[in-house]
Amino acid sequence: MYDDRHVFDAELVENVIAKLSCGKAASIDGITSEHLQYSHHILSGVQAKLLNFMIKLGHIPEWFGKS
């Protein structure tokens, strides 16, 4: 069940991205931590919305956990 107390926001996503290790290999989609760290700040808001929609819908795409 979706609970408003457990919501992702852009600040949380930005903090997690900032803590990612640099110099690691790219994931299956070719995105590295550097791509996320040096991307526009609006990406954090978009990612937060995506995560919240997945939780609200109770569905995580099969490809989401592959790396």
Q: Where are the domains of the chain?
A: 10-65
What pLDDT is stored for residue 4 in this prediction? 72
User: Residue 64's pLDDT is what?
Assistant: 78
Q: What's the predicted TM-score (pTM) here?
A: 0.81
N-term to C-term CA, the chain: 27
pLDDT tier at 67, thresholds 50, 70, 90? low
pLDDT in the model for residue 14: 96
∠ CA(45), CA(21), CA(46), 5° rounding?
10
